[in-house]
């Protein structure tokens, strides 16, 4: 596979996830909502998985809902609050994940951020103090640049305004202890090494929310694998974050030193140190990513801009940084120091080749 450097999109499956899935498929194949014996076995597995995941997230089992993915969790959170509170407006930071922005739709107020991607708290406070606001959304950490948001401070503002706070914690769950004060929290199992197609939505007791649609059939073996891998990832998180923090610092320093006309964006945080994004002037991002792929490095772009779309990332645009020629490197436990140094060794030459291909 080469070196996979895109854990912000999906972490390679944790070995525990494979083991748990294969074990659960023996007894978890039936519909857990029925009353016959195979269904009761599946129900016991589902309940145990819920308790495991709830313990890691620091919530009650009856506050936790399994969904078909992170985006599904966000949609359920937004529509469930809108239905219960009979209000439509969603206030969100300008750098939220596209799933939040799409769920908010036209009835949304976007709050600006700093050049490092941190939400403007006074602007947030002003925006949420309106009788039309259904809820606010502030991510725990940004998916493109890794900036950690002041969720606790935002939660205090929301509590004072009587507005529930949705936190998209996809980049934090299984990596760091979660912030407090939120009303709803969403995440995706594929971000912590669980299977794709499983998400989590936690709704605190006392939050006005009702499920906007039926849950449908539950993939019990996948949920069991998600819960088992979440517990394993959380147990390894503290040691792994120290290792990744050193590698992230090395990447940021080396890129700034060895690649001309580059801007390293975002604000590094030792609490959540797995993402580095940098922007290269005079480079087509798609060309550079393809060159890195041929060299054996799977990375993604911090920008949706390619040679034929010219649509910059809304995150980078909101931060006021370069939106072309972007590369996002995101680490996981399988990435070694040697992998990182090999990547840093080939990067300057590949950037130069991409610029030459562009006629510069």
Give 289-307 pLDDT, tens digit per residue.
Answer: 999 999 999 999 865 444 4
Residue found under tokens 């974050």: 241
Q: How far is the C-alpha of 360 from the C-alpha of 354, rounded, in Å?
A: 9
Which are the contacts of 174, defined by CB distance < 8 A and separation ≥ 6? 56, 191, 192, 193, 229, 230, 233, 234, 237
> pLDDT band at 285, cuts 50/70/90?
confident
pLDDT bracket for residue 322 (50, 70, 90): confident
Ordered domains of the chain (ranges, CATH): 3-8+237-357 (3.90.1150.10), 15-234 (3.40.640.10)
- For the chain, report the end-to-end CA distance as a whole number of angstroms: 32
pTM, to two decimals: 0.93
Residue 228 three-state SS: helix
Q: What is the pLDDT of residues 109-148, one digit of tens each?
A: 999 999 999 999 999 999 999 999 999 999 999 999 999 9
CA distance 59 to 281: 45
Residue 211 has pLDDT above 50, yes or no: yes
Q: What pLDDT, in 10s, does the model give residues 9-61?
A: 999 999 999 999 999 999 899 989 899 999 999 999 999 999 999 999 999 99
Cβ-proximal residues to 6 (8 Å cutoff; 6+ apart), any chain: 298, 299, 300, 328, 330
pLDDT bracket for residue 323 (50, 70, 90): confident
On average, the pLDDT of the chain sits at: 92
pLDDT at 208: 95
Q: With bands split at pLDDT 50, 70 and 90, how would you rate the model's confidence at 217?
A: low
Q: Which of 283, 252, 258, 256 is nearest to 353 (CA)?
A: 283
pLDDT of residue 70: 95
């Amino acid at each position: 596979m080469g070196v996979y450097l895109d854990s912000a999109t999906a972490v390679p499956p944790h070995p525990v996830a494979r083991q748990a899935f294969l074990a659960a498929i023996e007894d978890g194949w039936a519909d857990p909502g029925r009353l016959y014996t195979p269904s009761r076995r599946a129900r016991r597995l589902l309940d145990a998985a819920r308790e495991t995941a709830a313990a890691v997230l620091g919530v009650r089992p009856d506050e936790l809902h399994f969904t078909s993915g992170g985006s599904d969790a966000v949609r359920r959170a937004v529509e469930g609050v809108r239905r219960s509170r009979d209000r439509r407006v969603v206030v969100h930071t300008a750098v939220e994940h596209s799933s939040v922005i799409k769920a908010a739709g036209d009835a949304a107020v976007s709050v600006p951020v700093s050049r490092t991607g941190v939400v403007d708290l006074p602007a947030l406070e002003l925006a949420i103090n309106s009788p039309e606001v259904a809820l606010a959304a502030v991510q725990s950490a940004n998916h493109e640049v890794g900036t950690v948001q002041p969720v606790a401070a935002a939660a205090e503002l929301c509590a004072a305004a009587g507005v529930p706070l949705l936190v998209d914690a996809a980049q934090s769950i299984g990596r760091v202890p979660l912030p407090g004060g939120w009303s709803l929290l969403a995440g995706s199992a594929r971000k912590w090494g669980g299977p794709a197609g499983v998400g989590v939505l936690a709704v605190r007791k006392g939050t006005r929310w009702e499920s906007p649609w039926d849950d449908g059939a539950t993939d019990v073996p996948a949920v069991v694998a998600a819960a088992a891998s979440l517990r394993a990832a959380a147990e390894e998180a503290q040691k792994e974050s120290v290792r990744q923090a050193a590698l992230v610092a090395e990447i940021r320093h080396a890129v700034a030193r060895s690649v001309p006309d580059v801007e390293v964006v975002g604000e590094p945080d030792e609490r959540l140190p797995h993402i580095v994004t940098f922007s290269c002037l005079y480079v087509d991002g798609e060309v550079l990513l393809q060159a890195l792929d041929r060299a054996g490095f799977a990375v993604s772009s911090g920008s949706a801009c390619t040679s034929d779309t010219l649509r910059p990332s809304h995150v980078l645009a909101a931060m006021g940084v370069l939106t072309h020629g972007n590369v996002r490197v995101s680490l996981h436990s399988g990435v070694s120091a040697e992998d990182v140094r090999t990547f840093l060794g080939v990067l300057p030459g590949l950037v130069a080749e991409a610029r030459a291909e562009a006629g510069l």
